[in-house]
Structure 1
Amino acid sequence: MTTLRRGGGLLLAATLLASLGGCGDSGVAEVTEWMKQVKQETRVSIPKLSPPKIFTPYLYSGKNTVDPFNPSKLAIAFAKLQSNNSKFKPDLERRREPLEAYPIDTLKMVGTLQKPGLSYALIQADKTVFQVKAGNYVGQNFGMVSRITETSVDLKEIVQDASGEWVERKATLELQETKK
């Protein structure tokens, strides 16, 4: 039993010595000293905050005016547009004529034809020549031929002005002389 006690005591002594060996300094004191030195040398500099921007309130001056999005105002405007019984309003339901596909500035009057009681103007669009008489439509602005002379074709166009109203405008196609 003595050997057992001696072996157990030896084992206990070795374990105690090993655990005390782990409690040594092992360089921690040096690191701790360095950290204290750096804390003393380091100065913390926090920049000052800029003052807040001054808020200047905006005075809304349109408070007492009519609201443009007021439903009753919009209803009145739509009713006015739909009940616009202008005498110049074009007939959008009628069948379009071939010369209404061309802008008026691309059309040329190249001649006239006379029949008893009726005169025709010869109008060239691209390379095609069309016959028109008073009452035919020409151009993209609902232009109606009102008069044909030997040198010109007078038109009454119906266009919308800035306010959306249909107004009548006069236009003229003059005879284009060809030089030979």
Structure 2
Amino acid sequence: MKRIHGLLLVLIGLGLAGCGSDDDFSDLDAYMNEVRARPPGEIEPMPVFGSYPTFTYDASLLRSPFQPAVRVDLASRRAGSSAVRPDPNRSKAFLEGFSIEQFEMVGTLSNASGVFALLRGAGGVHRLKVGDYLGRNDGRIVAISDSQVDVVEIVPDGAGAWLERPRTIPLKEHS
């Protein structure tokens, strides 16, 4: 054990002997004199960056690429009706500012005044009854059952008329 301690002390002594104060900085002094002797104009100027054209995102009103595409059979496509159209004078409800795809049914409530659907979306859980509106396409609740909420939306048919499109919001179990 003493032999290991002695060897360790010898190695530490040799290591410290290499850290002596040798005042030979001649190579560093020569480099610093060379740098000081250079003319001050050798630094390249900053490059000029051109401006890039601005980009405006115009696809926000298109169908989300994460939603399945709607298959349209042109032979059985219903034509719009002039009797169906959204009411421009009706004041919009708060939930009409959100996409109907973000709502999910989480339950129902019933009391003496009727049956209510509980829909989660738009930052909370909302209690809705038959006749209430939600979604961006004038969606009106037409029926509420224990397992789903039936909504009818008014959408343009592409030919200047309007169609009623039924939608169903199923009950999300285990939520």
TM-score w.r.t. the length of structure 1 is 0.50
Where does residue 162 of structure 2 map in the other structure? Answer: 166
CA distance in 1, matches of 2:123, 2:91: 23
Structure 2: unaligned runs, 5 residues or longer:
1-79
CA distance in 1, matches of 2:118, 2:174: 14
CA distance in 2, matches of 1:142, 1:126: 16
CA distance in 2, matches of 1:170, 1:129: 23
Q: Secondary structure at the match of 2:86?
A: coil
- TM-aligned CA deviation for residue 138 of structure 1: 1.1
Q: Secondary structure at the match of 2:120?
A: strand
CA distance in 2, matches of 1:177, 1:85: 37
The count of corresponding residues between Structure 1 and Structure 2 is: 96
Mapping of residues 63-142 of structure 1, within 5 Å: 86-116=82-112, 118-142=114-138
CA distance in 1, matches of 2:160, 2:103: 27
Higher relative contact order (CA 8 A, sep 6+): 2
Where does residue 172 of structure 2 map in the other structure? Answer: 176
CA contact (8 A) 2:105 2:118 kept: yes
- TM-aligned CA deviation for residue 120 of structure 1: 0.3
Where does residue 141 of structure 2 map in the other structure? Answer: 145
Where does residue 154 of structure 1 map in the other structure? Answer: 150
Residue identity in the other structure for 1:110: V
TM-score w.r.t. the length of structure 2 is 0.52
CA distance in 2, matches of 1:85, 1:158: 11
CA distance in 2, matches of 1:87, 1:164: 12
Residue identity in the other structure for 2:96: E
Residues 75-132 of structure 1 deviation map (CA, whole Å, 9 limit, x = unaligned):
xxxxxxxxx9822111111111111111111111111001125100011114311111
Structure 1: unaligned runs, 5 residues or longer:
1-83
Q: Secondary structure at the match of 2:127?
A: strand
- TM-aligned CA deviation for residue 137 of structure 1: 0.4
| Residues 105 and 85 (structure 1), Cα distance of their counterparts in 2 relative to 1, 3 Å cut | closer
CA distance in 1, matches of 2:166, 2:135: 12
Calculate percent identity across the aligned residue pairs: 36
CA distance in 1, matches of 2:97, 2:120: 13
Q: Secondary structure at the match of 1:105?
A: helix
Residue identity in the other structure for 1:148: I
Q: Secondary structure at the match of 2:101?
A: helix
